Amino acid sequence: MEITLIRHGRSTLTNKDKMTLKEFNQWVEKYDKAGVLEEDVYPLQTRKKIEQANQILTSDFKRSIQSAELLHPNATSISDSLFRETELPRSLPIVKGIKLNPGMWAVLLRCLWLAGYSRDCESMKEAKTRAGKAAEVLVEQAKKHFSVVLIGHGFLNRFIGNELHQKGLKRNERTSSKHWHATTYTLFNARMQLNH
């Protein structure tokens, strides 16, 4: 039994202009609706895993769905909002007038989120609970189909990977935030507690 977590490709939406937090929130909404850039070459290990998968799952964001289509055009995938990326805070009381580029806003807000600030968004505790549910779904799918691939997102994939590792699955390497990167988790202990 194996479960492979893949991060989606690079977004077609690129913007390095400085913007206010309100403008950044609008930019994030566009980012969540944007697709991904087609690459000339995809990592061999990633292509191999998705081609061998008996079940392909994605989040319901376009960048995840389109990544599955690019990696395996003839395959059918199942999309679910359970696998969406973790959210970012949408408001900060002390940033009126401050302008940053989208990358800097994302780093600042993610650092605050990791430190426990979750105004107007899912908290880290809630995201980890959702990741636990996602891991259970993946394990159930792997029991039925043996080889399962999830094309998801950087932070949620990392949280799901930690849950799978705690359930006794062995990973081939650490989950990466690199686009198109694949990390595979396999059953390595016959007595692992899949239902806990």
Report the CATH number at residue 153.
Answer: 3.40.50.1240
pLDDT in tens, 91-137: 888 777 899 999 999 999 999 999 999 989 999 999 999 999 999 99
Predicted local distance difference test score (pLDDT) of residue 168: 92
The answer to whether residue 166 scores a pLDDT higher than 80 is: yes
Residue 195 domain flag = no
Confidence of residue 16 (pLDDT cuts 50, 70, 90): confident
Residue 193 domain flag = no
Radius of gyration of the chain (CA): 17
Residue 161 domain flag = yes
The answer to whether residue 190 scores a pLDDT higher than 50 is: no
**How many angstroms separate the CA atoms of 110 and 123, rounded?**
11
33 CB-contact burial (10 Å; exposed 0-12 / middle 13-18 / buried 19+): exposed
As given in the structure block, the two tokens for residue 153 are 């997102």
Q: Domain span at residue 148? A: 2-187
- Name the domain count of the chain: 1
Residue 194 domain flag = no
Residue 172 domain flag = yes
